[in-house]
Structure 1
Amino acid sequence: MKDSAGRPGGAAVPESGSGPGRDDGVTVVGPPPDPAPTPARRRRTAVGLAAAAAVLGAALVVAYPLSGDGGDDSGAHKAADSGPAPTAPPAAGDRPASASPSTAGTGSASASTDTTPPGKVAPGASKGGTPSTGASSGNDPLGVAVRPYVYSNPCSQHFLVDSAPEQVGPPANEGDAVRWSGAYGAVSSDEQQIALTVQGRDRDTVVLEALHVRVVAKGAPLAWNDYSMGVGCGGDVDTKSFDIDLDRGSPTVTTKNGQRDFPYKVSATDPEVFYVTVHTRAHDVRWDLTLDWSTADGRRGTVKVDNKGKPFRTSAGSARPGYDYPLGGGEWIKRAP
């Protein structure tokens, strides 16, 4: 017997979709299926399908975990995208060592300065009062406040300014001197008096051993104009103070006007005020001070005193063109030679 294709006898291969129960267009190769499923076979099939459904459901739950806000899985994705998990802190032996604390007893105290851009400064425009600064270091047992411009009389302070008179505002009183000098880039002319207020941090006594001057740089006097901060003034008021001649080869701090020399003692309830006057007739000098101290428990140190992190600066100016600002006037008048 030959089949429809002319081949020798055998079971006929159903055409695509022609087998019993098949309607998916898949050609089945092999023996024909059983004509009808038995009850036992139906039970085995149902059990197999249930097991497959359970496995598929578990896979879906793992692949798409439910969130607590109605099934939105954005939180899971955000957690996955936020980067690697934080690592545990290193063991004590693996942690980097902290920076060593600075050596106690060495610091600096600086005067405040004003860096207002140059321009006309009206009299009394700044009412900031006397500039000062706190102590140099938290480890020091004392604090130093600095006033960089002290007028021993209203006319004692002169400034050198690298500007013509019409570009310079009216003179400043002592309270405005920091702002005025900063506005015009001014330098003290011929001499400069500063005040140091030294006070302990607590009731323990601190001994002030010595005050030293250090010349940072020295050069030719500035070729600028000299401006007086007052006119028609009386004589100087004597204050106990210290004097420094910056023209000497090795300047030192010397006493004047009855001031006794170091040492001194200070505490929180017993401060001291020191007036230091420097002068030069031949140089432009940058300088600062150091104050040595000690305590009863054996600590010793030095406080550096400067002008807000920079040296003070004083230049000879007596040979320069000078200008005064007459009382009641409105402009600078050239001083007679």
Structure 2
Amino acid sequence: MSEAEDFARLMRELKERGGLSYGVLARRLQTSTSTLHRYCKGEALPAEFAVVDRFARACGASAAEAVDLHRAWLLADARRRAGAAAPTPVPEPPVPAPDPGQAVAAEPAVLVVGPAAVGEPVVRPARYRRRAAVVAAAGLAAGALAVALLAVTGPDRGAPQTGARAGAGPGAGTREPAGSGSASGTPSAGGAAPTESATGPAPPSAASGGPATAPAPSAAPPAAPGQAPAAPLRAAVRSHVWAAGCDHAYLSERGPASVPPPPVEADAPAWASAQRAVHAGNQIVEVTLHGTGGGAVVLEGLEVRMAARRTPPAWNVYEMSQGCGGGLTPAVFAVNLDAPRPLARPVAGNDAGNRLPAPSFPMRVSAAEPVVLRVAAATTGCDCDWSLDLRWSSPAGSGTLRIDDGGRPLRTSAATGRPVYGYALEQGRWSR
């Protein structure tokens, strides 16, 4: 069985076990149904690793199954590259004997790459065919090395860091690490009002699109010696995400008579800012990440940074809904803000009885393949200021991207024992 056939067999097994149709899988892979059919029949091979990764996640593959699928793709891709690199042998023209009275010129060591003239046969000397064989062998060796590394490290490995990283420990959340970016595009100590959608159009890394003779128009200038590269990522942060789009609660020091009716989720940032309200008990943060360069960026992990812990204020709790529900519980990274050193732990979700796999690092993101991260933080004991550091790596280096609320820490406060109000639509007022 060839490498491509072995890869196709693994794809068919995962698809049959996952129970998803070709149409559903094709939409999740952002490809056509006919193309997916060809992948599963061994007639074609995905050109990018990201397609294989999305297929494994969509089918609910375990970590070991994902490694096997990635290994099979690497071997098949290396075989394909080796076959493409080998030129078709062509007969060499006879070389005329040199004139005995004329000196033989030395052969220049120049390799000319480019199309031949129309109708002109391309003649390659024997040394070119030998070089092609060496290139093919090198391709297979590189594929084997990648397989060995993948098998040893597994899908949850953490790549070594070459750029600066934020210091660990409580209190480090207020210090911006050297070489790190901010998802809001502003320093973490900035005094701007919180914004719902904050984008940090950090310039892309100059090397993220692969080797080139000149940088791409969107590429960032090379980092100075000793300075970490700019994050080749753009992040859009939503800090007012409600469960099922309707279920959430806020703390406010204002009395119920002076608090307006609850808004819809899209208007929550303005409503909360006007009421000087903070998230009560829990907070969901959604981060949409896009690559800004031509290549992929690897997301390696999330670190929680605690900036401050205070006694929860004795304010009123205002519930945005009297109860709602939905058939979808997204997979999230759960954070217990009351822990001495909070961690972002992956938690599986549920879609109408079907289990959604827990999110896991590493992840790959590019300009064409965004990634959405959801973080659900909860507290029962503190008024907490916190943020997230997203560790990333690219061909240009590595670093961290700060995820906060428009340059200020995210804030979530416990609400245990506080007065709880719900809005009575028939009466047009808040009531307990």
Shorter-chain TM-score tier? 0.5 to 0.7
From the superposition, tell whether residues 327 and 235 of structure 1 become closer, same or farther in structure 2 (CA, over 3 Å).
farther
Answer yes or no: is the 8 Å Cα contact 1:152–1:236 preserved in 2.
no
Output the CA distance in 2 between the equivalents of 1:313 and 1:111. 19
Query: 8 Å contact 2:423–2:431 — kept in the other structure?
Result: yes
> Are 2:196 and 1:131 equivalent residues in the alignment?
yes
Amino acid at match of 1:193: I
Q: 1:287 aligns with which of 374, 386, 394?
A: 386
Distance in structure 1 (CA, Å) of the matches to 2:245 and 2:231: 35
| Residue deviations 1:255-311 (CA, integer Å, cap 9, x gap) | 01232321100000000001100000111110000111111x241111111111110
Moved over 4 A (4+): 111-116
Match of residue 260, structure 1, among 359, 372, 376: 359
Q: Deviations over 1:118-150 (max 9, x none)?
A: xxxxxxxxxxxx931222633321111100011
Report the CA distance between 1:105 and its aligned residue. 4.8
The SS at the match of 1:180 is helix
Q: Which residue of 1 aligns with 2:244?
A: 153
* In 1: Cα distance, 2:383 partner to 2:403 partner: 19
Mapping of residues 1-337 of structure 1, within 5 Å: 105-110=179-184, 131-135=196-200, 137-138=202-203, 139-235=230-326, 237-257=328-348, 258-295=357-394, 297-334=395-432
Please list every run of 5 or more consecutive structure 1 residues that lacks an aligned counterpart in the other structure.
1-102, 117-129
**Residue identity (%):** 38
Contact preservation (8 Å) 2:312, 2:383: yes
Alignment partners' CA distance in 1, 2:197 and 2:387: 16
TM-score normalised by length of structure 2: 0.48
Q: Please give the alpha-carbon distance, in whole angstroms, between the structure 2 residues aligned to 1:282 and 1:235.
A: 29
8 Å contact kept, 1:110–1:309: yes
* Deviation for aligned residue 1:328: 3.9
Shift in Å, 1:189: 0.2
Count residues in correspondence.
218
Contact 2:196/2:240 (CA < 8 Å) preserved in 1?
no
Unaligned runs of 5+ in 2: 1-176, 204-229, 349-356
Deviations 1:210-268 (A, max 9, x none): 11111100121111000001123125731011100001111000001232321100000
Partner Cα distance (1:156, 1:131) in 2: 18
Measure, in 2, the Cα distance between the counterparts of 1:215 and 1:305: 12
Change (3 A) 1:136 1:162: farther
SS, match of residue 391 in structure 2 = strand
**Greater Rg, structure 1 or structure 2?**
1
- TM-score, normalised to structure 1's length? 0.61
